[in-house]
């Protein structure tokens, strides 16, 4: 039996819920008041079909073969209606999207990634191009205002039959050593992950108000893409916020308008982005106001992941009856846990076995075929597990972005040994990384910080924004004060 693909899920939902809202487009007037207009599932389907025909024609004429990998960047800011249309349109046209994050700004690195995936075309918005030496043909996205000019009748014909091992799309890790690592997503892998995500939300009765979701992040990242597919599976709508890749947090007053005016009732986010909303609710409550708190309490679900929320905020949320759900530990591990510490508190590593349906491609696994996520857990008395950080030198910061601290530390040691005697990169569960350093000279102050940043310029150019050290996050500490134990900061 062929696996269920993201195109199958969409086709089915268009046929059953064509008149329902799929996407709520954001509008802001001069006074800052927000309103939303609906795009129905049928309209979404027609836009996909129109853009799909356009690229099938233009790319086909340029010699891009059916089934080829097509890179996408600066199309996928990942949070807009246009992004979603273009991603599905490429798939429907018979191509495999290689979804490269807009956070990667080095054109040479982008070209390396396209060559690695054997991409035959590159779709990008104006303002970003490949080096002139590139042999890959480039294309630009269709403006939303032109969608209607391309439209015909939506094609309800069944999607082609796909094999389980066929490549559906390509995504990338958030962390890197020299560039993000490629994650090849087959139809089999997609269905296994999709099945696990559908268990997160319970469908509502048909006579209940429609589910209205926020996207937890860019649809070119796994969390955003899978939330999108599950929302479509449930016949839900997605509401546009003011969030951008550079500023993913929207303010508390917008949260209220999203819920009251836009109907938001399924909040999907990351722990660092949820904390400001809880702090806003706390501050209001202490001042005798409970608007934000009531909005959060009325959500059908508040799903956050990537990393744990600080207990002080999570406990307050549960005490005030917020429907919080942390997806970090939802994967069933059972006997798949492997002992990795003989300390007083026994720690366990999360391991995906070769026989698991969601095992990633072989390149991501160790020699035994197992995949270690790098996350560590302790077992509670009731049999559940609590996250206790990560092993090795990789940490998570911001929206669960992975950071290879060892590579950063080694570069600093190589380029700045005349300024720094000992140093460590920290930032677990913080918004950004920081450098704690013991200076070689006691007068190594702001000038030393600027020198460090200057020497790291070429290193930073090939890395994501969250992997880059900034001047304000360098802290010189007294000699002999840095820890010499396992990284826990």
Which of 405, 427, 387 has its CA nearest to residue 272? 427
Cα(394)–Cα(309) distance, integer angstroms? 19
The reported pLDDT for the residue numbered 408 is 93
What share of residues in the chain are helix, strand, coil (percent, to 5)?
35, 25, 45
The reported pLDDT for the residue numbered 158 is 53
240-245-250 Cα angle (round to 5): 50
Strand pairing category for 69-73 and 212-213: unpaired
The reported pLDDT for the residue numbered 301 is 93
Cα(73)–Cα(129) distance, integer angstroms? 10
The reported pLDDT for the residue numbered 175 is 66
Cα(274)–Cα(252) distance, integer angstroms? 10
The reported pLDDT for the residue numbered 309 is 83
CB 82 within 8 A of CB 218: no
Q: Tell which phi-psi region holds residue 227, choosing left (phi > 0), alpha (psi between -120 and 50) or beta.
A: alpha
Beta pairing partners, 401: 397
Cα(29)–Cα(24) distance, integer angstroms? 16
Residue 87's CB is within 10 A of a number of other CB atoms, namely 24
Enter the tokens of residue 422: 């000992």
SS3 387: strand
Domains of the chain, CATH where assigned = 6-248 (3.40.50.12780), 332-391 (no CATH), 395-477 (3.30.300.30)
Residue 247's CB is within 10 A of a number of other CB atoms, namely 8
SS3 169: strand
Cα(120)–Cα(318) distance, integer angstroms? 50
Residue 20's CB is within 10 A of a number of other CB atoms, namely 16
To the question of pTM greater than 0.75 for the whole model, the response is yes
CB 440 within 8 A of CB 419: yes
Cα torsion 385, 389, 390, 392: sign = negative
Cα(426)–Cα(482) distance, integer angstroms? 11
Say what the alpha-carbon torsion angle 26, 29, 34, 35 is, to the nearest 10 degrees. -60
Cα(238)–Cα(228) distance, integer angstroms? 8
Enter the tokens of residue 82: 């246009």
Enter the tokens of residue 168: 């559906």
SS3 122: strand
- Angle of helix 187-198 relative to helix 222-233, nearest 10 degrees? 70
* pLDDT digit string (tens) for the chain, length 489 residues: 445 788 989 999 999 999 999 999 999 888 888 999 999 999 999 999 999 999 998 999 999 999 999 998 866 555 689 989 999 999 999 999 998 877 787 888 888 889 999 999 999 877 666 776 678 898 988 888 888 777 555 455 555 566 778 888 888 877 666 678 888 888 888 887 777 777 767 788 888 999 999 988 778 777 788 889 889 999 999 999 988 766 778 888 999 999 999 999 999 998 888 999 999 999 999 999 999 999 999 999 999 877 778 889 999 999 999 999 887 533 222 223 343 444 456 777 778 887 776 777 766 777 777 877 777 777 888 877 777 667 767 888 877 788 889 899 999 999 999 999 999 999 887 888 999 999 998 888 889 999 999 999 999 988 888 889 999 999 999 988 887 655 544
The reported pLDDT for the residue numbered 335 is 29
What is the CA 26 to chain-centroid distance, rounded? 21
Cα(284)–Cα(298) distance, integer angstroms? 17
CB 124 within 8 A of CB 113: no
Beta strands in 330-459 (DSSP E): 338-339, 348-352, 371-379, 385-390, 394-397, 401-404, 420-426, 434-439
94 CB-contact burial (10 Å; exposed 0-12 / middle 13-18 / buried 19+): middle
């Amino acid at each position: 039996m062929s696996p269920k693909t993201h195109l199958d899920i969409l086709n089915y939902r268009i046929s059953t819920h064509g008149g329902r809202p799929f996407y709520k487009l954001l509008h802001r007037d001069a006074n800052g008041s927000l309103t939303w207009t609906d795009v129905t599932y049928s309209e979404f389907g027609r836009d996909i079909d129109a853009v799909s025909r356009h690229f099938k024609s233009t790319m086909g004429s340029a010699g891009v073969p059916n089934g080829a990998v097509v890179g996408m960047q600066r199309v996928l800011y990942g949070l807009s209606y246009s992004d979603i249309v273009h991603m599905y349109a490429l798939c429907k046209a018979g191509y495999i999207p290689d979804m490269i994050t807009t956070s990667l700004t080095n054109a040479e690195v982008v070209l390396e990634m396209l060559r690695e995936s054997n991409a035959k075309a590159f779709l990008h918005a104006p303002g970003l191009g490949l080096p002139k030496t590139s042999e890959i043909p480039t294309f630009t996205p269709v403006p939303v205002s032109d969608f209607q000019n391309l439209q015909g009748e939506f094609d309800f014909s069944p999607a082609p039959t796909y094999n389980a091992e066929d490549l559906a799309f390509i995504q990338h890790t958030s962390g890197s050593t020299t560039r993000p690592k490629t994650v090849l997503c087959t139809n089999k892998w997609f269905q296994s992950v999709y099945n696990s995500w559908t268990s997160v939300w319970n469908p509502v009765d048909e006579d209940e108000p429609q589910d209205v979701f926020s996207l937890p992040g860019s649809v070119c990242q796994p969390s955003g893409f899978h939330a999108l597919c599950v929302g479509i599976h449930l016949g839900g709508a997605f509401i546009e916020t003011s969030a951008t890749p550079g500023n993913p947090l929207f303010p508390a007053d917008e949260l209220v308008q999203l819920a009251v005016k836009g109907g938001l009732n399924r909040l999907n986010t990351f722990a660092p982005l949820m904390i400001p909303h809880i702090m806003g609710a706390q501050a209001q409550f202490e001042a005798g106001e409970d608007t934000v708190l009531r909005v959060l309490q009325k959500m059908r679900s508040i799903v956050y992941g990537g990393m744990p929320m600080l207990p002080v905020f999570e406990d307050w949320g549960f005490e005030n009856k917020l429907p919080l759900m942390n997806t970090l530990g939802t994967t069933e591990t059972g006997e798949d846990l492997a002992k990795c510490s003989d300390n007083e508190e026994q720690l366990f590593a999360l391991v995906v076995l070769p026989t698991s349906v969601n095992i990633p491609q072989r390149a991501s696994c160790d020699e035994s075929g197992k995949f270690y996520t790098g996350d560590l857990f302790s077992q509670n008395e009731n049999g559940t597990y609590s996250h206790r950080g990560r092993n090795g030198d990789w940490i998570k910061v911001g929206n669960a972005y992975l950071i290879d601290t060892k590579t950063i530390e080694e570069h600093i040691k190589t380029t700045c040994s005349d300024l720094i005697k000992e140093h460590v990169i920290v930032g677990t569960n913080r918004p950004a990384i920081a450098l704690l350093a013991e200076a070689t000279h006691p007068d190594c102050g702001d000038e030393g910080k600027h020198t460090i940043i200057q020497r790291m310029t070429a290193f930073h150019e090939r890395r994501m924004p969250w992997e880059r050290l900034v001047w304000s996050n360098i802290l010189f500490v007294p000699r002999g004060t840095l820890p010499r134990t396992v990284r826990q900061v």
